[in-house]
Structure formats: structure tokens, C-alpha cells
Structure 1
Amino acid sequence: MEDVDLLLHPGWVVPMEPAGAVFEDHSVAVRDGALVALLPRPEAERHYRPARVRELPGQALMPGLVNAHTHAAMALLRGYADDLPLMTWLTEHIWPAEQAHVSEAFVRDGTELAVVEMLRGGVTCFNDMYYFPETVAEVASHAGMRVTVGMIVLDFPTVYADGPDGYLERGRALHADWRDHPLVDTVLAPHAPYTVGEASLERVRILADDLDRRVHIHLHETAGEVADSVREHGDRPLARLDALGLLGPRLLAVHMTQLTGDERARLAESGAHVVHCPEANLKLASGLCPVTDLLARGVNVALGTDGAASNNDLNLFGELRSAALVAKAESGDAGALPAWQALHLATLGGARALGRDHEIGSLLPGKAADMIAVDLSGPEAQPLHNVVSQLAYATGRSQVTDVWIAGRPVLADRLPQTLDMPALLERVRRWRDTISA
């Protein structure tokens, strides 16, 4: 027999590769943080001698979800300024609140709150764009969570840096400090074309080329953004990025609610990735990303929650359900973005957008053991005619019972294993009182 660290016996395994596969009465073997095998339970019990065994009756084991666009620390601003259009929300409420309160301590506690929320919702990897990304990396790595942190760039000074030179210098240091960490990756993260001008975007492209990094940017989020770009620069934001050489396989274009047919074709031709944030777009009345058409053209689409200040949660199961329903309504086709494809956006789609699909996004031997167990035994999941449909359309994040990242249990029976949740919630209450004062 072969020794392994862990043998899991779920009711079903949904590995995401091969597409559409659901394995009943199968087991997953884990050793040294990686998947060793997915095979029928009797064979697993004959072949492997595990140090630990976990029985998961009535549960589906699947890859951890990938949240491809967050501002994690903004969890501390959840509910702070609701029911407002994007630019009013940003310029009159969020940016002033950030100027008054954002600090390394704010980011540490806000990110820890977000990490707990995401783990309890089955998210095992997130892509973050916010101030003090060094702190985000520290919190996530301490929690045992996978993260891609953004080397943020803005043209104006903030508490984090005094201008483009400062942001880029801190970005280089961030990349150098974390480049070899097994859980932490980095991207360039210019905020948007309306906050980062051509000169700075050109510098972003040069640094992205130099470090072989992806570029994570808000783009075509609202009709107003596009109209302002045409009026001020004579062209639409996507065309401006294309002219700068930023449109390509390393680009993560977030939101993309305003796209012409030619722009959709150019996205497909370029190999750029689109990160769809359906609930934030709906809440801010920003528009609808044409996901069905983009997928039909071969564009890789990932899912993001955006920040909890604009969503107001970090619930990727809710997001994938919303994405599927919005796609059907937007296209007039009930078959658009079916259950399997919605799950793909939240797993392999996100992993591919981040360039991490060689290690996460599916349960294949050799990949990291980033897995979640979802309880399908309760009345809200019955009768169970179709496991994939149940996961996409009827699963709530409260059904996530256990989470493993690189084979390490970070959530067990809904309880975080690497963070002190009661102490965190006490600090969050103090932040609420400070921000509301």
C-alpha cells in the first residue's frame, strides 16, 4: 500500500475536468499538499494507507472557488454608502472615507474579515486590488489562503504612495518580497483609465513586461466612463489600452459592461480575460457584461465579487448563480450560461485568468489540493436530481462545511482553523464605531 496524508470519501466529486464529470462513491487521495488520485472508493481503500481519513457523506467535493476581483479590506465599509450610482458612491463617500480611515491596520483587519468570509463561502484564492498589498499578502498567507495581490497604481497621492513613482517602487518591492511564496502571486493593478493616465499606463506595461506579470484593471464599467474617455481623449478606454500594448493575454479587464461588437471581437483576438462582477454591476446600475457573447467568441471569463462596499458580500456561490440568471435574461436564451459553465467561471475560469490553472481550478492529480466540501444532504438540496444544477442554482455558502488549501484544513465544520474569529469580530466592531463617528 502507498502512504498518503489524507483520504477523503465524499458522496460525489465534481472535479471540473473533464468537463461535466460527476463521480459518485469516489475518493480523493492527498499527499504533500497535492492531489495524488481520484478513484473509486474500494480501489482507494485497497491502494492507499492514509494518515487521516475524512468521511463526507451527502457532500460534494469540488475545487475551491476563485474570486478574481476583490478589494478585500473594503469589507470594513460594507453598508457604508448604499443605493448610489458609481461615481457618486466613489467620489462623495468611499474616497473620502478611505482618506480618513485607511491605514495598514485598517487593511489588516478588513482583509482578515474578508478572508474569513470568503473561506466560509468556499473561496480558496482571491485576486485583490487595494492599498497596502503587502499587508494583504501577510494576512492571506498566515490564514493559509491563496492570493494574487495587486501592485496598485494611481496618478494621485494617497496614504499608500505620493504618486506613480511611489506606487511603482512599492510594487517592485512587493513582487521581490513575495515572488517565491507558494500561496502568494502578484499582478500590476492600475485602478482604471480614468485614474491612471497614458504615461503611467505605459510604465505599467513596461513593468509588466519586465516582471512577466498580468495587469488587473477596471475597464468599461459604466457608459459614463466610456463617454468621458471619448470626450477627453478622443477614444474609448479599450482602444487606448490597445494602443499602449496592454491588450493581450496578460490583461484582466474587470466589469466590461459597455462593449461594441468590434470590441468583443478584439478581446477574443487578443486573448485578454474578462472578470465579470454581476452583483456589483447590478447594485450600482453599471450595466450588464455580455458574457454569453464573449464566451461564444472564445474569451475566457472569470467571476469576481468586487468589494463588500459595493456588493455587499463576498459570496461567490451567489455570484455564479446571478451570473447564470443574468446571462439568460440578457440574451433571451434560457440555455445561456448553463449550470456547468457557471461553475467553470468560478473555478477554472478564474484560475486561467490569474495564470494559476496549472495548480488550481480543478481536481486533477498533480494539482494543489485546494478543495471544498458542500453539504447537499439538507432539505434545501433535496431531491437531488442533478448535482451540478444543485451547486449552481440551489447552493448557499452556508452549505460549505470544510475547506482545504494545499491539503491543509483551513475551515472545518464551518469554523476557521487559522484565524481567531471572535477577536477579529471585536476589532471589526471598533472599526464600525470609528467610521460611523
Structure 2
Amino acid sequence: MVDCIFQNAIVVTMADSLGCGVIQDGAVAVKGNCIISVGETAEILKKYSAHRYIDGRGKLLMPGLIDAHAHTGVSIFRGYAQDTENWMSSRVFPLKGALDVKARQAGSMVMLCEAIKAGTTTMVDSNEEMLFFAGNHVKIGIRAQLSHTVHALPLEKAEIEDGTLYPLDEKVEQESLENCRKLIEQYHRSNYGRITCGLCPLGLDRVSADTLRVMGELSEKQGLLMHLHLACGNREVRQMQMRYGKRSIPFLDEMGLINERLMAIHLSVATEEELQLLAKKGAAMVLCSGSEAIVDGNIPPAAEFSHYSSRLAIGSDQTSGGNTSNLFYEMKVGAVLNKCKAKNAAVFPAWRMLRLATIDGARAIGMEREIGSLERGKKADIIMLNMEEMHLIPLVWEPVSNLIPNLVYAANGSEVELSMIDGKIVMENRRILTVDESEVIRNASEQGRKLLERAGGKLLEKNPEICKQKKENKL
């Protein structure tokens, strides 16, 4: 007897070593927090009986999506920091200066709700003040890898002229490092292993070499991934050259910190040789297409990196950038932008993007033995989509199938009707069962309004064009 059998569904297992593994009339049996069996419906029903049967006619089952890089703690900034040439200093810094714990908590929860409703079941989340809202991840039931960001740059000193060396503050750095340790002690491998922790030095230009060594030792000792914004822009390159006389990636290599535990985020200005070095030493890359395109007009070198390594994942980053935590959006935007960049429509085909959001993403974050595909013994992280939506019709199988292209290029996340994480149904009939969605919306709306009240003067000072745009009905 198993707990649950999903039956009569299209099952996309992602267990195929090269493709997606589709069973047209499939079933999945779940017991506890694990998948017991995957196969044809008739086969599964012959072997098992269940306490609950979920009919999948007209539905599709697939592994939950994996968001390999997010900052939920600043998602209260949604819609406030786009369409400007200097989004960080002119928009984010004034908002961040007005950010408080309540706003972080409220924004984080609304982003987690949005992610689950769009099919995400695992989120890699790095934030300042993570200790204050890590409980959101526990409460909502998502699988998460949490990091407290470590840096040495006080907010009031972050906005300096380009060409001036960042004034790193040891007190700020040690405080954030201590909070990083506390987070690991409290949450790593908690909630039956559903919540784990990683390390996140914010950027090589904002952390001292001594603290990087400490974090490297901690990574090696405890087997923790190091999530690092790396080679993100020319400003970072100039800071590294002024401080160390080296570019970011060669500097990191000399410190011995390029290895299979490194998650390199963005890599926007990495050279071909640097990409090869990262791949050769086993590092992974995370592509955040929506965020990079909107705030920097940039397309990171994911296609180039994939020539040398399969350790590539996708992430939503932060909603002050990409404006959403929806991986269906990230799959489509990532494919489209890279096709345009390469002037080659064959770059990043649909099946490849789906793998980045599932099994390849799991491999990149070192969790491929637990999640990323529907296979016996893996965690029961499963989403069910309604395939009888207008934008997914028609569905054909021969002589070629349009299933996977439609999932990547036509689906938008609203098709996800049910989400099971670690064997527990977290969302059903598009309603999250673990939190009150109405309360989440009310709280985030209130905190977003209060944040703007606190930051409004500074925002207008930094962005005088806002008044003109408002007068012209452009806002």
C-alpha cells in the first residue's frame, strides 16, 4: 500500500540521459516523501494500491522546477528598479536603505508563493538578514538551500565614483559572517533534510581575501556550495584590478576556490579562457536571463559555457530585476535571448531548457540523486499541469511531438494545478495549502506601500525623471 498514485497522465520523467523521457499514459506511486515507482498506468495499478488516487486525464506530471539562484528578501522591490541606466545606485540603494525586517519577510513570502504556483519546488535563496525570514521556507513547505550573504561594504559607502576603491569594513563583514554561521547551525539539513544551507560571499570585490579563505575552508569542511556573483560587470573587474591587480576568476583560482562546490552566478564579462577554466575545475554556472536582460541589457555566456560543461542551471534572481520568480518565463526568455545572441535558432532547444530547470539544474546544485527527475527512490517533488489550456492546444505525437516545445515556449506557469514537495501536497487546485494567500497579498501590499513612503524622497532625488514620467502618464 502506497500513500498516493497519480494515474492516467502524461508523465515527463526527465530520467532519460539525453532527452526528457515521456510516458503518454503514465503513473507515479508515492510513499512517504519518496517516489516508489514510475511507469505505465496499467503496470503501476497492477503492482500497487493506494490511500489516494489522483486522476491525471488531460494533465501532465513532471519533476518540480529548480530555481538555482534567487534573492527573495528584496522581492518587495518588484517593479521599482527597472528601465534605468543605473538600476543599482539610482533605484536599489535608496530602496535598500529603507528596507526593514517586516518588508523582507513580506516580500520573501509573496515571492515563494509565486514560485510554487508557477511550478518551482526547490529554491536556492541568498539574502542579507536570512535568519529573519528563513522560517518562510519552512512554513510554506518548499525545498530550499539558504545562504546568508557575506560582504564588507556598508550601504552608505556603496555608492562611490567608478574608479574609487570600495572601502571594506571589517566590522560589517564579521557580523555578516557570524550570521552566516548561525544560519547554518540552525537550518542546515533541518526539516528532514528539506532545508539545507550554502555559502554566499556577495562578490569578490566586496569581501576581503581573508574572509574568502575562511568561507572556502567552511565549504570544504562541511561540503557546502559557494554561491558567488562572479565576473558580473566591468565595475567588478576594475575593483579587482585596483585591489589585487587581477581579474576575478584568475584571482579566485589562485586562492584555490574554483572547484565542484562553486556556483558561479552570471559570468557576464567572463572571457572564453575563464569559462574554460571554470568548467575544467568542475564549477557550475547559473543563468538568470530575465534579470540580466532587464537591468543590464545583458545576455550572459551560457551557450559558451555549455560548450565546456553540462553543469548549467537557471535562476530567477531578484524581482527588482527580472520582476518574476517564474521559471517557465526564465526557460523561454533564456532560449530566445541566446538564439538571438548566436543568430542561430538551434541554440538552446526546448528540451535543453527543460533539463536546465530540472535534472541538469539538480546536477548543478549537487542534488541530482534526490531531485530533478521522476525515478524510483528520489524525493517526491512533483508538479501536475493542466494540458487542456488553449495555448497548449493542439497536442500531437506523430510524426513529431510538440509537447516539449509547447511546455517551454507556450506554458506560463498558470497551468500548474498541483504541487507535491517532499511527498506532501503543498498546492492543489491552484491554492496553496500551507499559508493564507489573501493574507500574504495584503501583507506584501502594505509593506510595499510603507517601503515607498520611507524611500520616496531619496528615490526622487536620485531619479528626477520619475516626476516627468508620472506627469506624462508613463508610470
TM-score per shorter chain, which class? over 0.9
Residue in 2 that maps onto 1:71: 71
Shift in Å, 1:67: 0.6
Q: 1:436 aligns with which of 452, 456, 459?
A: 452
Q: 1:110 aligns with which of 94, 107, 110?
A: 107
1:12 maps to amino acid: I
Contact 1:17 1:363 in 2 (8 A): yes
Distance in 2 between residues matched to 1:226 and 1:15, nearest whole Å: 42
Q: What does residue range 321-332 of structure 1 map to in structure 2 within 5 Å?
A: 321-332=332-343
Q: Which amino acid aligns with 2:240?
A: S
SS in 2 for 1:284: helix
Partners in 2 of 1:112 and 1:336 — Cα distance? 35
For 1:155 and 1:410, the matched residues in 2 are separated by 38
The residue identity in structure 1 corresponding to 2:176 is Y
Could you say if the C-alpha distance between residues 299 and 56 of structure 1 is closer, same or farther in structure 2, counting changes exceeding 3 Å? closer
The one of 411, 414, 419 equivalent to 1:395 is 411
| TM-score w.r.t. length of structure 2 | 0.87
User: Equivalents in 2 of 1:205, 1:398: separation in Å?
Assistant: 40
Residue 226 of structure 1: how far off its partner (Å): 2.3
Identity over aligned pairs, percent:
28
CA contact (8 A) 1:257 1:286 kept: no
Letter in 1 for 2:93: W
1:57-97 CA-partner distances (Å, limit 9, x unpaired): 21111110111111112221101222124xx3223331332
Separation in structure 2 between the aligned mates of residue 247 and residue 96 of structure 1, nearest angstrom: 34
Residues 109-258 of structure 1 aligned to structure 2 (within 5 Å): 109-157=106-154, 162-181=171-190, 182-258=193-269
8 Å CA contact 1:221, 1:286 repeated in 2: no
Counterparts of 1:42 and 1:10 in 2: how far apart (Å)? 9
Equivalent residues of 1:223, 1:286 under 8 A apart: no
- Residue 163 of structure 1 aligns to a residue whose secondary structure is helix
Matched residue type, 1:68: A
1:51 aligns with 2:44: no
Gaps in structure 2 of 5+ consecutive residues: 157-169, 397-401, 454-475
The superposition leaves residues 136-185 of structure 1 with CA deviations (integer Å, 9 ceiling, x where unpaired) of: 431111111111101320113579x9522222222222112122312111
Aligned equivalents of 1:230, 1:156: Cα separation in 2? 18
* Range 200-209 or range 266-275, more displaced: 200-209
Task: Tell me whether 1:421 sits opposite 2:437 in the alignment.
Answer: yes
**Once structures 1 and 2 are overlaid, which stretch shifts more, 208-217 or 22-31?**
208-217
* 1:97 matches 2:110: no
Shift in CA distance, 245/364, structure 1 to aligned 2, threshold 3 Å:
same
Structure-to-structure mapping, 1:265-344, within 5 angstroms: 265-344=276-355
* Equivalences for residues 74-89 of structure 1 within 5 A: 74-85=74-85, 88-89=86-87
**Equivalent pair of 1:133/1:150 in contact (CA under 8 Å):** yes
Q: Distance in 2 between matches of 1:155 and 1:64?
A: 36
Give SS of 2:184's match: helix
Matched-pair contact (CA < 8 Å) for 2:291–2:321: yes
1:359 corresponds to which of 358, 370, 385: 370
Q: CA deviation at 1:299?
A: 4.1
Q: Secondary structure at the match of 1:281?
A: helix
Q: d(CA) in 1 for partners of 2:392 and 2:199?
A: 41
Shift of 1:20: 2.9
Structure 1 residues 94 and 271, CA, compared in 2 at 3 Å: closer, same or farther? same
Q: State the match for 2:463 in structure 1.
A: none
Distance 2:252 2:240 in 1: 12
Does the CA-based 8 Å contact 2:310-2:360 persist in structure 1? no
Q: Unmatched 5+ residue regions in structure 1?
A: none
Q: Quote the offset at 1:21 in angstroms.
A: 1.3
- Seen in structure 2, the aligned counterparts of structure 1 residues 162 and 374 have a Cα distance that, compared at 3 Å, is farther
Q: Runs of 4+ in structure 1 displaced over 6 angstroms? A: none
For residues 178 and 47 of structure 1, the distance between their equivalents in structure 2, rounded to whole angstroms, comes to 38
**What is the distance in 2 between the residues matched to 1:281 and 1:345?**
17
Letter in 2 for 1:184: I
* Matched letter for residue 408 of structure 2: A
CA distance in 2, matches of 1:322, 1:29: 34
Aligned-pair Cα RMSD in Å: 1.7
> Which stretch of structure 1 is more off in the superposition, 34-43 or 189-198?
189-198
Secondary structure, counterpart of 1:196 in structure 2? coil
Q: What amino acid is aligned across from residue 261 of structure 1 in structure 2?
A: E
SS across alignment from 1:398: coil
Mean alpha-carbon deviation: is it higher for 345-354 or for 306-315? 345-354
- Cα offset, 1:278, TM superposition: 0.7
Q: Is the 8 A contact 2:252 2:258 kept in 1?
A: yes
Partner amino acid, structure 2, of 1:30: V
**Contact 2:286 2:314 survives alignment (8 Å):** yes
In 2, Cα distance between the equivalents of 1:379 and 1:26? 23
- For residues 173 and 228 of structure 1, do their structure 2 counterparts lie closer, same or farther at Cα, with a shift above 3 Å needed? closer
Return the index of the structure with the highest Cα Rg: 2
Deviation at 1:286, TM superposition (A): 4.9
Q: Residue type matched to 1:213 in 2?
A: L
Offset of residue 231 of structure 1: 4.2
1:383 maps to amino acid: P
* Counterpart pick for 1:350 among 361, 364, 376: 361
Query: How far is 1:223 from its partner?
Result: 3.1
Change (3 A) 1:287 1:225: farther
1:185-217: CA deviation from partner (whole Å, max 9, x where unpaired): 111111112221322222221222232211101
Could you say if the C-alpha distance between residues 129 and 10 of structure 1 is closer, same or farther in structure 2, counting changes exceeding 3 Å?
Answer: farther
Q: Is contact 1:276–1:302 with CA below 8 Å preserved after alignment?
A: yes
Partner of 2:273: 262
Which residue of 398, 408, 415 corresponds with 2:424? 408
| In structure 1, C-alpha distance between the alignment counterparts of 2:334 and 2:80, rounded to whole Å | 25
Query: Letter of the aligned partner of 2:418 in structure 1?
Result: D
Q: 1:22 to 1:176 in 2, by over 3 A?
A: same
Contact 1:26 1:40 in 2 (8 A): yes
Distance 1:65 1:280 in 2: 18
Q: Is the 8 A contact 2:114 2:325 kept in 1?
A: yes
Tell me, yes or no, if the aligned pair for 1:25 and 1:41 is still in contact at 8 Å.
Answer: yes
